[in-house]
């Protein structure tokens, strides 16, 4: 079972997040970075290809034995569905069609949502922009685990279970920390997704539906790619709030591993984030960084100093303008 984690609260700080100041400093020194901002014309075609690939997979698994359905669910479906959630992350920053066509991005995200099976793209947009604007903000940033998560998942075995259940906690956490009224776009997202799920079942039966939903749950749980959930903001080193990962899995995840760079410049598409690091290398080379998300998961479970409480948190001051 492991020892109980000694940590009993978050790491409370009374300073602003570091990304805004670093952004100003980098832009003053390297104004050419502004040219990297704006939509990525390749993104929409990559997403369309991924959606078509999953539609083809739905057709192919409908006649397989269940053991092979489950095998391909984890070996392939979980990877592409997790990758699709990170495509939706990209689209939430308007990098598919640009800021001038924000609604195109919203509806395109719903299209990207289809092979995931769980209607979340519209809600993700609302909460994710708050995460950037108020990183670690008490009662606003729903990327921060709840007090219950920090209190209960405090042994190695419980942390292992917590990682498996990450999709559940990401779904429930906003309702506990920062509930918002249901928006029209969220209702459309749910209607479209539920309709698609029923259509898939009517056309090809239960196996594609299981492949789709189980692939999403497994891909965001105990999976190498899901190491990014822990790697991005959990405080492995005291005082460091955001960490980048520069390993090969960035190829599958739209460079979400370049996370310091992303929080410094959220309007720059993932494909161009390596250029930010190259141009302003002196700002990033000496920051703590990872080369393996699998190692991050292992260290998080086995290190008795780490738990869901290992997050930097701050009280927000002044007017809080949420999405």
In a domain, 1, yes or no: no
Q: How many domains does the chain have?
A: 1
- Asked if 211 and 201 touch (Cβ cutoff 8 Å), the reply is no
In a domain, 134, yes or no: yes
In a domain, 2, yes or no: no
Going from the C-alpha of 144 to that of each of 115, 215, 225, 238, the distances in angstroms are 27, 24, 19, 17
In a domain, 246, yes or no: yes
In a domain, 261, yes or no: yes
What's the confidence (pLDDT) of residue 319?
Answer: 74
| Binned average pLDDT, 10 residues per bin, the chain of 323 residues | 74 94 97 97 98 98 96 97 97 96 97 97 94 95 96 95 95 93 96 98 97 96 95 95 97 97 97 98 96 97 95 87 71
Q: How far apart are CA 80 and CA 76, in angstroms?
A: 6
In a domain, 233, yes or no: yes
In a domain, 247, yes or no: yes
Domain extent at residue 288: 11-314
What's the confidence (pLDDT) of residue 5?
Answer: 66
Q: How far apart are CA 131 and CA 153, in angstroms?
A: 23
The dihedral formed by the CA atoms of 277, 323, 80 and 116, expressed in degrees to the nearest 10: 180
In a domain, 251, yes or no: yes
Q: How far apart are CA 179 and CA 133, in angstroms?
A: 17
Which residue carries 């979400």 as its tokens?
256
Q: What is the pTM of this model?
A: 0.94
What's the confidence (pLDDT) of residue 323?
Answer: 65
Residues paired with 314 in a beta bridge: 13, 137
Share of the chain above pLDDT 70, in %: 98
């Amino acid at each position: 079972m492991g020892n109980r984690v000694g940590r009993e609260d978050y790491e409370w700080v009374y300073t602003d997040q570091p990304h805004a100041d670093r952004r100003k400093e980098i832009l003053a020194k390297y104004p050419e970075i502004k040219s990297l901002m704006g939509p990525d014309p390749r993104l929409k075609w990559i997403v369309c290809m991924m959606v078509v690939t999953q539609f083809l997979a739905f057709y192919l698994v409908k006649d397989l034995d269940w053991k092979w359905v489950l095998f391909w669910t984890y070996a392939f479906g979980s990877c592409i569905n997790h990758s699709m959630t990170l495509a939706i992350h990209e689209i939430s920053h308007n990098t598919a069609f640009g800021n001038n066509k924000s609604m195109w991005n919203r509806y395109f995200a719903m299209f990207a949502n289809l092979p995931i099976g769980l209607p979340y793209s519209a809600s993700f947009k609302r909460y994710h922009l708050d995460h950037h604007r108020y990183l670690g903000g008490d009662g606003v940033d729903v990327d921060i685990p709840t007090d219950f998560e920090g209190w209960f998942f405090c042994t190695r075995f419980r942390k292992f279970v917590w990682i498996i259940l990450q999709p559940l906690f990401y779904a429930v956490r906003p309702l506990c920390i920062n509930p918002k009224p249901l928006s029209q776009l969220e209702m459309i997202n749910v209607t479209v997704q539920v309709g698609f799920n029923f259509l898939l079942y009517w056309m090809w039966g239960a196996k594609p539906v299981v492949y789709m939903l189980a692939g999403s749950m497994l891909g965001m749980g105990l999976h190498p790619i899901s190491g990014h959930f822990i790697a991005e903001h959990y405080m492995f080193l005291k005082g460091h709030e955001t960490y980048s990962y520069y390993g090969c899995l960035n190829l599958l995840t739209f460079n979400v591993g370049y996370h310091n760079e992303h929080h410094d410049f959220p309007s720059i598409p993932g494909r161009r984030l390596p250029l930010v690091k190259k141009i302003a290398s002196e700002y990033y080379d000496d920051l703590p960084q990872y080369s393996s998300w699998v190692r991050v998961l292992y260290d998080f479970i086995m290190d008795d100093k780490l738990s869901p409480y290992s997050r930097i948190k701050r009280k927000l001051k002044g007017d809080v303008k949420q999405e």
